[in-house]
Structure formats: C-alpha cells, structure tokens
Structure 1
Amino acid sequence: MHDTTDPLDALPDDVAAAAFRRLVRHLRHRHDAQNIELMGLAGFCRNCLADWIRDAGYEGDKAEARALIHGMPMDEWKATRQSEASEEQIARMQASIAKNAADLR
C-alpha cells in the first residue's frame, strides 16, 4: 500500500529526476555490479529500472527502455558486460524476489 504521507512524494520532480539519472549513470559505470547481484542484494536491477520507467509513462518498448538504462542495446550488454550466474547468485536472487512480495508503489 502506498503511504501518502511519505516525504519522498514532496521531493521536487527535477531533484528526483537528477538523482535518478545519477543512479543510472552510476550503474552504467559500475557494470561489474551484475544484475543478478543487484537482484540478490536489493531486489531490483537495471532491467527493473527499465520496467519502472515504462510503468511511469516512457513510451518506448521494453528493448528501448533497457537500452536507455544500460546505455547500449541489451544484446551488446549481455555480450560485453554480463557474466554467467552461479547457483549461489541465483538462489540469493530468488530469495530476494520473494521479499518483494509486498507492493511498494
């Protein structure tokens, strides 16, 4: 359930947008932080951010949203940045996804 008293909602859109862009640029720079690791620790990754911008009204399709967040097409990202996931990483990701059951919108 969305808390309407959350001070985050009072954050000016330009400030929130600047922080979001900084986060995305940071993730582009830190390509060593694999999506599966982000999912395992935080329950979201670059692909989630791409889904969230579409949910917020971005008119591009899924591939365009992912390219925007990754800074390159997804196929290029996978070929140049993504490594094979270990069983441990997959297990952590699955446990983390289970924690996401609560709707945070």
Structure 2
Amino acid sequence: MDDRTRTELEAATFRALMHHLMVKRPDVQNIDLMNLGGFCRNCLSRWYQEAAAERGIELTKDAAREIVYGLPYGDWVAQHQTAADEGKKAAFAKAFAENVGPKG
C-alpha cells in the first residue's frame, strides 16, 4: 500500500472514530474510556493539537477539543458527562498516570 492511500485510510478511520464518539456513543464517559483504554476524548484532542503544532499550525486547546467533541467542551460536559464514583476516580488517577502523565 502506498503512503497516500495509507494516510487516506487512517484519516477515514479517525473520522469514523470521531463520528462514533460524537454521534453514536456520546453516552460513553471519558473516565470509562481512560480507565479501560488508556485514552479519552481529551487525549484525542491533545494529539490533534500536537499534530497541528508539528506542522506549524496554531490550534488552541479549546479549538482542538471542539473538533473532537463536535461542540464546545463545556457544552458537551453539560449535556453528556455524569458524576463518577470514587472507584472510577481512583482507577482514572492510575490510568492517567500510566498513560498520560509527564512526558519522558
């Protein structure tokens, strides 16, 4: 497979993932994504922002989040985020430290 086709397929896959998280499953909580998968929507928006920066494109944290969430972050939180119990919060702290923590 040539590089251009690979890039196009990767982009299509990313768009499908974003559609799935924004439209089909906005009920899936970020804390559950992080606890089970080691990443969440905020990670995706950070990766998006970092990829833009690598190409010399300025993108704020809020702008990157709006791309990933499909609406301003605060609006998404108000519409979809639910309270997490102490067990989920503890698991999140561990998952965050293992997967996001300080860059090495």
Match of 1:19 among 8, 13, 21: 13
Question: What is the distance in 1 between the residues matched to 2:46 and 2:17?
Answer: 15
Question: What is the distance in 2 between the residues matched to 1:56 and 1:67?
Answer: 16
The 5 Å alignment of 1:85-96 reads 85-96=84-95
Question: What is the distance in 2 between the residues matched to 1:101 and 1:56?
Answer: 16
Q: Is the 8 A contact 1:53 1:65 kept in 2?
A: yes
Aligned residues between the structures:
95
Name the SS for the 1:56 alignment partner.
Answer: helix
Q: Give the counterpart letter for 1:24 in structure 2.
A: M
Query: What per-residue deviation string (whole Å, max 9, x for no partner) do you get for residues 40-96 of structure 1?
Result: 111110010000011111532110110110011011011111111211111111222
Identical residues among aligned pairs (%): 41
TM-score, length basis structure 2: 0.80
Q: Is the 8 A contact 1:41 1:93 kept in 2?
A: no
The CA RMSD over aligned residues, in Å, is 2.4
Question: What is the distance in 1 between the residues matched to 2:46 and 2:65?
Answer: 8
5+ residue gaps, structure 2, are: none
Question: What is the distance in 2 between the residues matched to 1:101 and 1:76?
Answer: 24
> Are 2:45 and 1:46 aligned?
no
5+ residue gaps, structure 1, are: 1-8
1:86–1:26 distance in 2 versus 1, CA, 3 Å: same
